[in-house]
């Protein structure tokens, strides 16, 4: 008994995060298995419930059952709660509950909160958590209020629930929707492709949720004084703007030429924003060219920003690798952003994260292709969607077998908690060796 307590007391921050997400997924799966969770009042098979819960907690949006037509109101509420917990982070939600109940936050708990939201230091972490919770509630409420007139016009009182559900799902970059019917499942927001209010509101929610909690804090503190922002916030905002504008221009000129000008602009912007990492769509993605689908795959792998509701390898990871490549091209010793030099450990971490995501992405796609006998192209799209916690699909996920579902669950889980978090959790007991081996050069490139 004492040994068990001793082990629990010495769980690292990374292990707490891993177990927190895994526990939330399991609880969600058990609740979704209940007969009350489905429209038909039947028990949902465990693998379907587990997949849906993992997708919700990992804010992905890939589904094996249509959310609107299969799950009951209770089931949809469970999914929405899992999305909220996954989007804000299990640790952040637990800390918020502790703060509301008046409990003191220990130093170990503060350290875990720091890791969970990618804060640079422990100091002020409780204040930052309170700010995150308050801001999340306000933004999600505003998003619901903006969309409510349109949904209430089309669905009556049900429109209130649809507005709340889609506001939380969009802000948490989850991609779950309740627009499908038995005749037209997995519809997402395709029926609102030309509606400016729904498109703009959902896009803003996705972007705000995806830029990260620390960036919000910077914007609130420094407002228009961009020069005062942390270097990380500057990189995130710059990278986000580029990753919206460039793909949108590509899609506008090469993919949606048959649409009216206004709808073409909205559709291009929406499909540029949603792969990082929201999962909504306003057009049939199977009709995109292979080049268009490849662009979406790249966006899905990049994902959002650190400390946000989004997944993926993160905008900062790609930005650091590009900055390092530019430094090498120019034969400079150090990579830099906005007059600040990057630490070599940051570059090594970025390279490791990039390698891990690419390895997971390719391995997952290969396993699914072998197991299902499907073309590699569609499997790459689905694997990128899972590991990037996006939720976009070319329609094959509901048809996959249990083995392929497990592969996607693992990809979603690793994509949400982060590969480095899992590695640090697994090898936390090993201490670095101060001794250095002899150095020798190797030719690369």
Residue-wise pLDDT for 241-283, tens only, equals 999 999 999 999 999 988 899 899 999 999 999 998 788 988 8
pLDDT at 246: 95
Residues 6+ apart with CB under 8 A from 358: 301
Helix (H, G, I), strand (E, B) or coil at 225: coil
* Closest by CA position to 83, among listed 383, 414, 309, 393: 309
**Residue 241: inside a domain:** yes
Question: 277: domain range?
Answer: 12-426
276 closest CA partner among 392, 182, 375, 196: 392
Kindly indicate the confidence band of residue 1, based on its pLDDT and cuts at 50, 70 and 90.
very low
The whole-number average pLDDT for the span 215-231 is 86
As a whole number of angstroms, the distance between CA 111 and CA 125 comes to: 9
d(CA 140, CA 165): 9
% the chain with pLDDT above 70? 84
Q: How far apart are CA 36 and CA 10, in angstroms?
A: 39
Q: Does residue 5 surpass a pLDDT of 50? A: no
Structural contact between residues 177 and 189, judged by C-beta atoms closer than 8 angstroms: yes
Query: pLDDT grade, residue 220 (50/70/90)?
Result: confident
- CA dihedral over 333, 119, 426, 352, signed as positive or negative: negative
User: What pLDDT does 2 receive?
Assistant: 47
How many domains, in total, are found in the chain? 1
Q: Which of 218, 424, 396 is nearest to 305 (CA)?
A: 218
Average pLDDT over residues 135-150: 94
What's the token pair of residue 170? 């969009």
Can you give the pLDDT at residue 186? 86
On the question of pLDDT at 109 being above 90, the answer is no
Q: Of 205-214, 226-235, 337-346, 420-429, which gets the smallest average pLDDT?
A: 420-429
pLDDT score at 154:
93
Residue 437 backbone phi and psi in degrees, to 5 = -80, 160
**Confidence grade of residue 414 (pLDDT, cut at 50, 70, 90):** confident
pLDDT band with cut points at 50, 70 and 90 for residue 10: low
Helix ranges (H only) for 156-195 are 158-171
Of the ranges 30-39, 103-112, 114-123, 334-343, which is most confident?
30-39
State the pLDDT at residue 115. 62
Please determine, for residue 433, whether its predicted confidence score (pLDDT) is greater than 60: no
pLDDT over 80 at 371, yes or no: yes
Predicted local confidence at residue 219, as pLDDT: 86
312: confidence class by pLDDT, cuts 50, 70, 90: confident
Tokens of 181: 């019917």
Note whether 56 and 50 are within 8 A (CB): no
Res 255: pLDDT? 92
pLDDT over 50 at 177, yes or no: yes
At 337, phi and psi to the nearest 5? -135, 135
Considering the domain boundaries, does residue 30 fall inside one? yes
| pLDDT over 90 percentage in the chain | 51
pLDDT recorded at residue 196: 94
Tokens of 154: 């089309």
Pairwise pLDDT comparison (286 vs 117), residue with the higher score: 286
Helices (H), 274-343: 290-302, 315-329
pLDDT of residue 21 exceeding 90: no
Non-local (6+) Cβ contacts of 1 within 8 A are: none
Q: Is the dihedral of CA 5, 6, 9, 13 positive or negative?
A: negative
What is the model's pLDDT at position 46?
A: 94
pTM for the structure as a whole: 0.87
Number of Cβ within 10 Å of residue 43's Cβ equals 13
């Amino acid at each position: 008994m004492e040994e068990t307590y001793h082990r629990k007391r010495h769980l690292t921050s990374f292990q707490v995060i891993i177990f927190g997400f895994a526990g939330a997924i399991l609880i969600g799966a058990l609740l979704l298995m209940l007969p009350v969770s489905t429209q038909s009042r039947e028990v949902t098979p465990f693998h379907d419930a587990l997949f849906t819960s993992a997708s919700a907690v990992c804010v992905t949006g890939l589904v094996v059952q249509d959310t609107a037509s299969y799950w009951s109101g209770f089931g949809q509420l469970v999914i929405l709660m899992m999305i909220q917990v996954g989007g804000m982070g299990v640790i952040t939600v637990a800390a918020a509950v502790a703060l509301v109940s008046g409990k003191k936050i220990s130093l170990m708990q503060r350290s875990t909160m720091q890791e969970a939201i990618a804060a640079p230091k422990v100091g002020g972490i409780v204040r930052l958590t309170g700010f995150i919770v308050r801001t999340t509630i306000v933004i999600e409420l505003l998003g619901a209020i903006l969309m409510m007139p349109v949904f209430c016009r089309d669905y009556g009182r049900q429109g209130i629930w649809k507005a709340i559900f889609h506001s939380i799902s969009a802000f948490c970059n989850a991609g779950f929707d309740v627009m499908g019917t038995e005749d037209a499942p997995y519809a997402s927001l395709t029926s609102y492709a030309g509606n400016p209010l729904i498109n703009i509101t959902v896009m803003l929610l996705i972007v705000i949720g995806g830029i990260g909690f620390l960036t919000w804090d910077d914007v609130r503190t420094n407002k228009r004084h961009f020069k005062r922002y942390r270097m990380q916030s500057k990189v995130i905002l710059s990278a986000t703007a580029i990753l919206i504008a460039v793909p949108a221009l590509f899609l506008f000129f090469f993919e949606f030429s048959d649409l009216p000008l206004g709808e073409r602009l909205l559709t291009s912007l929406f499909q540029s924003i949603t792969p990082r990492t929201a999962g909504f769509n306003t057009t049939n993605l199977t009709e995109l060219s292979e080049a268009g689908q490849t662009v979406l795959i790249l966006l899905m792998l990049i994902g959002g920003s650190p400390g946000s509701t989004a997944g993926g390898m993160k905008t900062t990871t790609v930005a650091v690798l590009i900055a390092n490549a530019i430094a090498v091209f120019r034969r400079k010793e150090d990579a830099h952003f906005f007059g600040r030099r990057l630490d070599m450990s940051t570059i090594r971490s970025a390279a490791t994260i990039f390698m891990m995501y690419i390895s997971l992405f390719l391995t997952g796609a290969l396993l699914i292709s072998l197991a299902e006998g499907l073309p590699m192209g569609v499997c790459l799209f689905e694997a990128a969607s899972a590991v990037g916690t996006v939720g976009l699909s070319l329609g094959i996920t509901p048809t996959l077998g249990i083995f392929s579902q497990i592969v996607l669950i693992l990809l979603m889980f690793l994509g949400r908690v982060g590969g480095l978090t899992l590695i640090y959790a697994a090898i936390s007991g090993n201490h670095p060796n101060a001794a250095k081996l002899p150095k020798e050069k190797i030719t690369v490139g």
